[in-house]
Structure 1
Amino acid sequence: MAKTKAAPVRTCPVAAFQKMISGKYKLRIVWDLKDGPRRYGEIRSGLLRGASGSAEITPRVLSRELKALTESGLIDRKDFGEVPPKVEYRLTRKGKSFVPVVAAIREWGERHLGEAAALADAAE
């Protein structure tokens, strides 16, 4: 009896995408890096500026998000090997191709979520 090869397991692209970008800060990190390389502190400051209800991002959480984005191939980490340490993060080609997707999400949010906030304010 001949062995048959198992068919390759297909992953739903939407589920795979959702898994890749899941996390509280990943989309915002990609959006922040669209303008060029940033150091850890610059990324952290950018996230704090837009934070609602959160005055602090723990270093552990930010490091985890940066590592996950690096592993997914969206960003690249460049260590300059200096003392004090200097590390920069930048979008890869794959990450740059993702910026229009984040821009579309942002535009949708401005149109539809701004509307909901205005309606809620008017109802009060």
Structure 2
Amino acid sequence: MAKARTVPACGCPVAAFQKLISGKYKLRIVWDLKDGPRRYGEIRTGLLRGMPGSAEIAPRVLSRELKALTESGLIDRKDFGVVPPKVEYRLTRKGRTFVPVVAAIKDWGTRHLAEARAPEMVAAE
């Protein structure tokens, strides 16, 4: 007899996944951490790269995203307990298994969003 797969409490794995990654910066934080541990300021700087204009990320928003990723088990927060405070964030084992998913999203966006953007840019000119 085949063993039943565990399905999240919401009943739908897609909905559970959507809830896990909902948030403006979560995917980009995971993508940035794929290269190794980062401190808060390094994560913030990485998120600002590639954003149009002089966009700013509210500290409260970034802290909320980091806390949610920590609670979901995708990243780990290491507090060194020194003054001034030193905290690092790194992917957990579970978080590292998520990197190929983000890479697939990035690849899809590279292929398909560039095509979709071209007509918009022509219309705007």
Larger radius of gyration, structure 1 or 2?
A: 1
2:98 is equivalent to residue 80 of structure 1: no
Aligned mates of 1:22, 1:53 — CA distance in 2: 24
Aligned mates of 2:93, 2:52 — CA distance in 1: 30
TM-score w.r.t. structure 2 length?
A: 0.88
For the residue of structure 1 that corresponds to 2:11, the secondary structure is coil
| Over 6 Å off, 4+ runs | none
Q: How many residues align?
A: 117
1:4 aligns with none
2:5 aligns with none
For the residue of structure 1 that corresponds to 2:81, the secondary structure is coil
Q: For structure 1, which runs of at least 5 residues remain unmatched after alignment?
A: 1-7
Q: CA deviation at 1:118?
A: 1.6
Q: For structure 2, which runs of at least 5 residues remain unmatched after alignment?
A: 1-7
Q: Which amino acid aligns with 1:14?
A: V
CA RMSD after TM alignment: 1.6
Query: Which is worse superposed, 48-57 or 87-96?
Result: 48-57
Amino-acid identity (%)? 83
CA distance 1:21–1:53, shift in 2 (3 Å): farther
TM-score w.r.t. structure 1 length?
A: 0.88
- Deviations 1:12-36 (Å, cap 9, x if unpaired)? 0000000010000000000000000
1:61 aligns with 61
